[in-house]
Structure 1
Amino acid sequence: MTCRKRSQDIQQFVVTAVQMRQIEERVFAAGMPVAALMEKVAGLVARRVEELYPVAAWGRVGVLVGPGHNGGDALVVARELYFRGYEAVIYCPFSRLKELTESHHRYCAALGIPIVGDTEALRSCDFLIDGLFGFGLERSLTEPISTAIHQINEGSQPVVSIDLPSGLHTDTGAVMGTAVRATHSLCLGLWKLGLLQDDALEYVGKAELIDFDLPLTDIQAVLGTLPRIQRTTSERAIAHLPLNRPPTTHKYKMGHLLLICGSRRYAGGAVLTGLGARASGVGMLSIAVPDSLKPILTAQLPEALVLGCPETEAGAIAHLPDELDWAAYHTIACGPGLTKEARAIVQQVLGSQRSLVLDADGLNILAELGTVSTLQARQAATVLTPHLGEFRRLFPDLAEEMSCRVTATRAAAAQTGAVVLLKGARIAIADASGATRINPESTPALARGGSGDVLTGLMGGLLAQAEASPGHSSLIDVVQSAAWWHAQAGILAAEERSELGVDAFTLSQYLIPAVQKGVGKG
């Protein structure tokens, strides 16, 4: 296996605390000395710290040391930075340390590195290294550590956390009483699930992986050859986009998507969904909207086949055209802007044998119908894309699972047989088999009305193309690619226009530049 291939694989793998322990136990049982591994890991961390905070500008470092091996890593980092010219001070308020950590503690003291028991000496440091607690923390932090962390968080120094910020739950990302607010988190070996959860984002800062060459055989012995939980990478997302077309293809081979969306009140929802679909490159696009919206949609999307539908007095779709031929479409995307008056429409769509993306009012109607469990009976693929409020309405019985968004998403997928995409700062996607994807990058700029409509159209278009050319990508792969593409467009737009400048229409215009940029990087 090439170094590049290994690097791509490692970036995808996500572990829980239990799985990481199992992998490490295999490595140690095979003969790797714990002390040797600590030296290697800490050496890589020290090198990265030196790149982030060069000694010429950041010469004084404070190192926070815990009682376990995370503290041992921190002590080795302190020693290495000391040898490279940094003025170091060690904060260690613990009287009992693990044997290896105690050994490094004695050596640092012998070198003359100051070791203190309170945080006052840290105030003059240019930056801090957090090595209090690593993965596996299961109880809330108490005094005096909680007060020390509070004082550190009140300061202005950058903080580099080793593995994950002290005080975060390894799996859920929840704060265990209190937690360090890191500027950088240098995750060791494999991505910890907690770093990819919404609850952790306020504390993680910029996260990156320190690969210290855990053998793939040991990783796969615990996680399997295809790990159930994977972190989306640009390489993986791009690989499942329909970027290369056969030279003799035509529009009918490139997928036909039917959008059912919009109302007089929410005309923009139909337009934005259509713009997202347009960017997907789908061969044929049909849009069913209330009759009064047909001129608007035709003006905005002249290439689309716009189907005007009879409408209610309030301007919602009353029923679909009688001549509608479900067999003509590869995929249906339904929901944005419908209003809950369109209950009969959603029921009709659920009864179709076409692959389906259900969003917004489509989900709200499904929740009111109380028929979520009946999705198991659908013969075609189903994708649900709820935000947190919609998820809770759809799955009230999963309230206890919400402490971990990934666990909740997997439970919802198992319950429905659908692919479930739970929106948030870190989108979680799961299918009925338990396969899970987490999109690790996004931007608060996407917290705007209409952003989700763009995603629905984009995803529907990609799924229609996959249905037209089956075999290349699984359903979860297509959904993962849509979520990645949508997030990258938001990130690029925010970079160029600021987070305030990314309305949903603007977002739709950045979809093609974002994928061009992603392909260029690859």
Structure 2
Amino acid sequence: MAVKNQLRSLQHIVVTADQMRQIEERVFAAGMPVPALMEKVAGRITQRIAALFLPQPGLRVGILVGPGHNGGDALVVARELHFQGCQVVIYQPFTKLKELTGHHAQYCSSLGIPTIEQVAALQECDLLVDGLFGFGLERSLSGDIASAVEQINQWHKPIVSIDLPSGLHTDTGQALGTAIQATHTLCLGLWKQGLLQDQALAYVGQAELVDFDLPLADIHAVLGDTPPVQRITSESAIAHLPLPRSLTAHKYTAGHLLLICGSRRYAGAAILSGLGARASGVGMLSIAVPASLQPVLMAQLPEALVVGCPETPSGAILCLPDEVQLDKYSAIACGPGLTMEAKPVVRSVLGSSLPVVLDADGLNMVAEWGTSMLEPRTAPTILTPHLGEFKRLFPHLAETLPCRVTAVREAAAQTGAIVLLKGARVTISDSHTVWINPASTPALARGGSGDVLTGLIGGLLAQPLAQQQTPSPIPHSPSPIPNLVQSAVWWHSQAGILAAQERTELGVDAHTLAHYLIPALKTICKSDRSFL
């Protein structure tokens, strides 16, 4: 039980190569022998490989051995799999090895485990274990090694990479020339930042964390009490949702969200945003749309207060009517389907003292005006760009985009906003901390899925804010808003994953996605009755 609790406590921590190096140096300086740690790590790796692939009589395993301690880990795995009855062969393309790695190579040789120098011989293996390079690789793979990696990738065999696929940059997840396309990655100790970036997904396969008991004191000594980069977990996401509700809750204590969205051309965006907001459980939902769309929205969302707004000749919102007094709402979500004609409306929203979620054309307007217009805002602002919108908002940060963590952190620092960069691994920052959603599905690559997310975020933000009418008695207490944004992103992706499981990836249109939000939450929460 203690091992499981330790592993659970580490699941949210993400490190760079330099941070991992510092943590390991502290462990070694405290007296942990490097050989002992290598044995422990390799033992855990062997156990996991055995659980995944054994028993399979006569399993033929090829071990890819590099010159450093990653190669040493691989050699210990080779030895242990040999003792478990596997037919092991070692591919060792380097003649110069670190001392400890060399000792393990010598012992494997004494056991009669064959060593080869030509990669083609591995084609007869059932499974490959990749221990060529560990974390911290900076140079591109080239020459014979690059050719060997390319050849291995063409075989489409099961490949287990130790720590991260050889050839991946630890921090950015970019392939350095080329990289092993693993089917499984056993990340050691702490999650490496590169494994959670979009460009790494073609190489990582199924990733999981292998704990080898790094002392929490050493982790906190390097990262502080709050790790600067964190991985969203189901436990943390659920913990920040407004579940369960107070027994005395009513619609006015459960928040009031104003959605401003839609145009004659993009009526669907308003509907989808409204469906996302409805699933959030917000107590009151008002939707401001062009007057011509009011009947459509009332039919789709009968519980919402649909406000018909004056519109332009082409059917965009011209202005908000007098009945829409912004100060009576808890939060505003604005942008989906507006078109660029609705600039006066967006200006008034950004001039309000309310938390604002800005998406789609709302972002395009800010890109045109310049992000400096956000600086005077005292209330929280959440920007939700996809990659193209991010480049328009922050053209000077385009060079940082190979590392999404760096890009969103700098964008948040520049604007004072919470920046949510959409993608296969949604990345969020409030300038102090970066959060990465580790799971998603290509099923969400559909028009309108972002509109659902905008409504969901807005609805969650409105709820706790409505219950905090008095200032917090704790000075500098952390805002709940970044946590709720994380929860919304995680919830949205879990709905997509569940819908894809039941309907295939091609069967998850945005309307369907919205209707899977509650089933997905129920599926995750059913093990804890207090959430139901």
Aligned residue in 2 for 1:272: 272
Tell me the CA shift for residue 55 of structure 1.
3.6
The code of the aligned residue for 1:265 comes to R
1:456 aligned onto 2:462:
no
Tell me the CA shift for residue 8 of structure 1.
2.4
1:498 aligned onto 2:504:
yes
Q: Which structure 2 residues correspond to residues 54-453 of structure 1 after superposition, within 5 A?
A: 54-56=54-56, 59-370=59-370, 372-432=371-431, 434-453=432-451
Q: Residues 175-215 of structure 1, C-alpha deviation per residue, up to 9 Å, x if partnerless?
A: 10000000000000000000000010000000000001000
Mapped contact 2:45–2:77 kept (Cα < 8 A): yes
Judged with a 3 Å threshold, the aligned counterparts in structure 2 of structure 1 residues 409 and 57 are, in CA distance, closer, same or farther, namely farther
Secondary structure of residue in 2 paired with 1:251: coil
Tell me the CA shift for residue 469 of structure 1.
2.4
Secondary structure of residue in 1 paired with 2:11: helix
Mapped contact 1:12–1:232 kept (Cα < 8 A): yes
Tell me the CA shift for residue 44 of structure 1.
0.5
Separation in 1, partners of 2:368, 2:57: 60
Separation in 1, partners of 2:48, 2:415: 44
The code of the aligned residue for 1:115 comes to T
Mapped contact 2:6–2:213 kept (Cα < 8 A): no
My pick for the range that moved more, 114-123 or 61-70, is 114-123
Mapped contact 1:55–1:85 kept (Cα < 8 A): no
Tell me the CA shift for residue 369 of structure 1.
1.4
Separation in 1, partners of 2:58, 2:188: 23
| Runs (5+) with no aligned partner, structure 1 | none
Q: Residues 41-87 of structure 1, C-alpha deviation per residue, up to 9 Å, x if partnerless?
A: 00000010011111425710000000000000000000000000100
Secondary structure of residue in 1 paired with 2:23: helix
Q: Residues 362-420 of structure 1, C-alpha deviation per residue, up to 9 Å, x if partnerless?
A: 101111112x1231210111000000000000001111211201100000000000000
The code of the aligned residue for 1:393 comes to R
Tell me the CA shift for residue 9 of structure 1.
2.0
Secondary structure of residue in 2 paired with 1:144: helix
Q: Residues 281-325 of structure 1, C-alpha deviation per residue, up to 9 Å, x if partnerless?
A: 000000000000000100010000000001111100011102321
Separation in 2, partners of 1:323, 1:249: 26
Mapped contact 2:150–2:178 kept (Cα < 8 A): yes
Separation in 1, partners of 2:375, 2:6: 37
Tell me the CA shift for residue 2 of structure 1.
5.3
Mapped contact 1:466–1:473 kept (Cα < 8 A): no
Secondary structure of residue in 2 paired with 1:45: helix
Separation in 2, partners of 1:373, 1:112: 68
Mapped contact 1:353–1:380 kept (Cα < 8 A): yes
Tell me the CA shift for residue 355 of structure 1.
0.4
Q: Residues 82-141 of structure 1, C-alpha deviation per residue, up to 9 Å, x if partnerless?
A: 000100000001010000000000000010000001112101000100000010000101
Secondary structure of residue in 1 paired with 2:167: coil
TM-score normalized by the length of structure 1: 0.98
Mapped contact 2:138–2:169 kept (Cα < 8 A): yes
Q: What is the identity percentage for the equivalent residue pairs of Structure 1 and Structure 2?
A: 67
Mapped contact 2:287–2:307 kept (Cα < 8 A): yes
The code of the aligned residue for 2:306 comes to V
Mapped contact 1:260–1:333 kept (Cα < 8 A): yes
Separation in 2, partners of 1:409, 1:283: 32
| Runs (5+) with no aligned partner, structure 2 | 473-477
Separation in 2, partners of 1:173, 1:98: 26
My pick for the range that moved more, 54-63 or 118-127, is 54-63
CA RMSD of aligned residues (A): 1.2
Mapped contact 1:55–1:86 kept (Cα < 8 A): no
Mapped contact 1:58–1:127 kept (Cα < 8 A): no
Tell me the CA shift for residue 468 of structure 1.
1.3
Secondary structure of residue in 1 paired with 2:128: strand
Separation in 1, partners of 2:465, 2:72: 53
The code of the aligned residue for 2:423 comes to G
Separation in 2, partners of 1:2, 1:77: 25
The code of the aligned residue for 1:24 comes to E
Q: Which structure 2 residues correspond to residues 5-84 of structure 1 after superposition, within 5 A?
A: 5-56=5-56, 59-84=59-84
Count of paired positions: 520
Q: Residues 307-366 of structure 1, C-alpha deviation per residue, up to 9 Å, x if partnerless?
A: 000111110001110232111101000000001111111111110111000001110111
The code of the aligned residue for 1:490 comes to G
Secondary structure of residue in 2 paired with 1:348: helix
Separation in 1, partners of 2:105, 2:527: 43
Separation in 2, partners of 1:212, 1:513: 36
Tell me the CA shift for residue 4 of structure 1.
4.8
Tell me the CA shift for residue 493 of structure 1.
0.2
Separation in 1, partners of 2:290, 2:145: 61
Secondary structure of residue in 1 paired with 2:44: helix
Secondary structure of residue in 2 paired with 1:243: coil
Separation in 2, partners of 1:82, 1:138: 32
TM-score normalized by the length of structure 2: 0.96
The code of the aligned residue for 2:418 comes to V
Q: 1:510 aligns with which of 508, 512, 516?
A: 516
Mapped contact 1:257–1:286 kept (Cα < 8 A): yes
Judged with a 3 Å threshold, the aligned counterparts in structure 2 of structure 1 residues 140 and 490 are, in CA distance, closer, same or farther, namely same
Mapped contact 1:166–1:180 kept (Cα < 8 A): yes
Secondary structure of residue in 2 paired with 1:400: helix
Judged with a 3 Å threshold, the aligned counterparts in structure 2 of structure 1 residues 473 and 4 are, in CA distance, closer, same or farther, namely farther
Separation in 2, partners of 1:63, 1:469: 58
Secondary structure of residue in 1 paired with 2:424: coil
Separation in 1, partners of 2:336, 2:527: 33
Separation in 2, partners of 1:133, 1:311: 60
Separation in 2, partners of 1:424, 1:260: 24
Q: Residues 147-181 of structure 1, C-alpha deviation per residue, up to 9 Å, x if partnerless?
A: 00000000021100000000000000001000000
Tell me the CA shift for residue 475 of structure 1.
1.3
